[in-house]
Structure 1
Amino acid sequence: MPESSRLATQIAAVLRRERGARSLTQQELADLAGVSQGAVARLERGDRVPTVALTERLLAALDLQLAVSVEPLDSHLDARMDDLAARSLAERVDDLGLDRVLDRLGDLPHLLTGSTAALLQGAPVPVDAGEIAVRWRDSARFTAWLDAAYGQRWNARWSEFGGLRLEPEEPGEHRWQTRYGQLRAQMCDELPEAIEVRHGDRSYRVVPLVAVELTDPRAAELLRRHRRRHAAERLADAGPAGAGSAR
């Protein structure tokens, strides 16, 4: 997740939590802060990072103030992977909410890929959107589905969804917000070789893990990060005895 998006998400979560704890509506908070209800709604959606002045104004209306801290780069990824690793694979799959999107894709040819495919194969990697591979020749059908699902294309310039044409052929990241959740697409000439994995009473066609690492830089980096941390933990668990045996 881009750093700006992560910060926007964190601020949005804080505002929603603190407003809810005080049983305030968005309009009531807006009135206290002297801003519009629309401004509060946009911030709570986490679409973009608000200005410091606006953030301080809203927090002051809640009798709070902004504090700044630092942490190691990408430590949030480590925390998310630790949380996922502590949960069963069934729980990880259920939390994706993936079935809701897949059920509505109907007969559109696709495969699950990227971090989504990796998680379904047991890797505790964060997934912020369902990821599918779609053929270019099915682009018109995919666009029609996005239109029917009230899709909005990710606009990297404004760090929000909307303002761009839906069609995958148009410039921009292949990422959409739909009524069923977020979706990323890898557009390809032909669907790659797939394997089938089963969870509960459902089967999923996914790109094998080795192919994910070769074709998806985002997922590959997450998998490498997970393996490095896992290896470091094994060495730490070995302790002095492991170090002594190496001499």
Structure 2
Amino acid sequence: MTDGRLAALLGATLRQERESRLLTQRALASRAGVGQASLARIERGVQTPSLALVERLFAAMDRQLTIGVEDLDAHVDRLLAGAGTRPFADRLGDTDVARFRQRATGISYVFDGPTAALLHGVPVPAPGVHVVLLWSEAAAVTDWLTRMYARRWYDKWQEYGHLPVDPREPGAHRWRTMAGEIHARMSDEVPERIEIRHDGETYPVVPLTEVEIADPHTADLLRRYRQLRGARGDGHPATD
């Protein structure tokens, strides 16, 4: 488990326990003898607390944290298995694809990464929307992001902030906007694409084979999905 995922899990668990007890951050921070700002960073997964601080925070709510072990990335397998039981429309509804399509005017895009895999019919976790955008349209993309009141992802603090949204400026190509949470892969040319239709709508999508080459994270999700299908005897792995 990476430090980032551990911090996120600890933060989410702590926040869930606090909210279930109707405690404000200020109240819990006071009980545990920690600053509210530090507690806020811990709950956001930005700060990894020491074990002593973790014990103190949960003890302030008459709780204690237990530790268990599981196969590496077993949580991903659970997500994949659970997604496979839900209708496609529901899985698509969990993303920002519809909102993005309604508002993405004046820019060229092709769906990429886990969004592309989802549109191909593979039940992978695909929050937000992943797209390929063109460097040649960087100015138009910047104008569009500005109109969408975008905030850019700041790796140092692991949160969205008021950084320059222009993709030519240093920073992750990831923004939170009125059109959803955008994860972009910038390209010098329009990538190979196919058209996929769902419920009368057409989606420009990067082929799965190309997604696996360009996106190691999605390639790993696809590999794990195919292994799960093979273990259940569901037939051949998903392909284009």
TM-score by length of 1: 0.81
% identical aligned pairs: 44
Secondary structure of the 2:183 match is strand
Q: CA deviation at 1:28?
A: 2.0
Stretches of structure 1 that go unaligned for 5 or more consecutive residues are 236-247
State the one-letter code of the partner of 2:4: S
Tell me if structure 2 keeps the 8 A contact 1:98–1:130: yes
Q: Which residue of 1 aligns with 2:168?
A: 169
Q: CA deviation at 1:84?
A: 0.7
- The count of residues paired between Structure 1 and Structure 2 equals 234
CA distance in 2, matches of 1:62, 1:101: 41
What does 1:1-247 correspond to in 2, within 5 Å? Answer: 3-162=2-161, 165-178=164-177, 180-200=179-199, 202-234=201-233
Give the aligned CA root-mean-square deviation in angstroms: 2.6
Q: CA deviation at 1:203?
A: 3.3
State the one-letter code of the partner of 1:137: S
Tell me if structure 1 keeps the 8 A contact 2:94–2:127: no
CA distance in 2, matches of 1:141, 1:120: 26
Q: CA deviation at 1:70?
A: 2.0
State the one-letter code of the partner of 1:18: E
Q: Structure 1 residues 41, 107: closer, same or farther in 2, change over 3 A? A: same
CA distance in 2, matches of 1:35, 1:87: 42
Q: Which residue of 2 aligns with 1:245?
A: none
Q: CA deviation at 1:164?
A: 5.4
Stretches of structure 2 that go unaligned for 5 or more consecutive residues are 235-240
Q: Which whole-Å deviations, capped at 9, do the CAs of 1:112-149 have from their partners, x for residues lacking one?
A: 11111101111111224421100001112223333444
Tell me if structure 2 keeps the 8 A contact 1:48–1:160: no
Higher helix share: 1
State the one-letter code of the partner of 2:78: A
TM-score by length of 2: 0.83
